[in-house]
Amino acid sequence: MGTLQKLTGTEDILPITQFVGQEIKVADVGIWQRVEAIAREILHRAAYREIRTPIFEQTALFERGIGEATDVVGKEMYTFKDRGDRALTLRPENTAGVARAYIQHSLYAQGGAQRLWYSGPMFRYERPQKGRQRQFSQLGVEVIGSRDPRADAEVIAIATDILQAVGLKNLSFYLNSVGNQSDRQAYREALVEYLTPYKDELDADSRDRLSRNPLRILDSKDAKTQEIVQSAPSILAYLCDDSRQHFDTVQQLLTDLNIVYQLNPCLVRGLDYYTHTAFEIQSADLGAQATVCGGGRYDGLITELGGPDTAAVGWAMGLERLTLLLQQLQESQPPELDFYLVSRGEQAEGQTLAIAQRLRQAGFSVEIDLSSSAFGKQFKRADRSGAVGCLILGDSEAEHGTLQLKWLRTEEQQELSQADLPSAIPQLRQHIQQQRQSL
* DSSP states of 209-238: HHHH-GGGGGG---HHHHHHHTTSPPGGGG
What pLDDT digit, counting tens, does each position of 128-140 carry? Answer: 877 788 999 999 9
C-beta separation of 339 from 388 below 8 A? yes
Mean pLDDT of the chain: 89
d(CA 347, CA 327): 43
What pLDDT digit, counting tens, does each position of 249-258 carry? Answer: 999 999 999 9
Coil/strand/helix, residue 6: coil
Q: What is the 3-state secondary structure of 10-72? A: CCCCCCCCEEECCEEECCHHHHHHHHHHHHHHHHHHCCCEECCCCCEEEHHHHHHHCCCCCHH
pTM of the model: 0.83
What pLDDT digit, counting tens, does each position of 41-61 carry? Answer: 999 999 999 999 999 999 999
Q: Phi first, then psi: what are they for 276, rounded to 5°? A: 55, -120
End-to-end CA separation in angstroms for the chain: 51
- Which domains are delineated in the chain? 18-180+240-328 (3.30.930.10), 339-437 (3.40.50.800)
| pLDDT (0 to 100) of residue 2 | 79
| pLDDT (0 to 100) of residue 272 | 67
Coil/strand/helix, residue 321: helix
- Split at pLDDT 50, 70, 90, the class of 273 is confident
pLDDT at 425 over 60: yes
What pLDDT digit, counting tens, does each position of 327-366 carry? Answer: 777 544 556 899 999 999 999 999 999 999 999 999 999 9
Q: Work out the angle between the directed axes of helices 319-328 and 149-166 (0-180°, nearest 10).
A: 40
> Residue 173 belongs to what H/E stretch?
strand 171-177
| pLDDT (0 to 100) of residue 332 | 43
- What average pLDDT score do residues 240-261 get? 96
d(CA 148, CA 245): 11
HSE-up of residue 65 (Cα within 13 Å, Cβ side): 23
Percent of the chain with pLDDT over 70: 93
